[in-house]
Amino acid sequence: MESFKEKIPMIIAVIIVIALAVGAYYFLIVHKDQYYTQIDNTKIQEVSSTDDMRYEYTLTAYNKNGKEKEIKFKTSRELREGAYLELDVMQMRGVVNWKEVQQNELPEAVKTAMNIE
């Protein structure tokens, strides 16, 4: 029979695997980042789709710190030109939700990055 000291490396390995699995689940499945963008209807494409998502936007978006990222997302309709959106973005799934926000609701770093006074 093995002593407890001989089992310690196996116990530590199991704990590390569990911690990595929980971390991966959180960052890939649960965690969402918010990005902000402004609708530019020159950056829309009509796509053939089997569901209701007939349009795809490719827009420059910014996180709360002003970091830029190009984001693609689909919608069922053409959105209002110039509208500001808050996008919920998941690592693996992309944009999972969006809502229109007012200019005064944008974080200051986003306003700076978008050259909004």
- Dihedral angle of Cα 12, 14, 15, 19, to the nearest 10 degrees: 140
pTM of this structure: 0.74
Q: Please list, in sequence order, all residues whose beta carbon lies within 8 angstroms of the beta carbon of residue 116, skipping any fewer than 6 positions away.
A: 103, 106
Express each pLDDT in 76-117 by its tens digit. Answer: 999 999 999 999 998 778 898 999 999 999 999 999 999 987
Query: Average model confidence (pLDDT) for the chain?
Result: 88
Q: Which residues pair with 73 in a beta bridge?
A: 57
Residue 39 token pair? 């609708």
Q: Is the pLDDT of residue 9 over 60?
A: yes
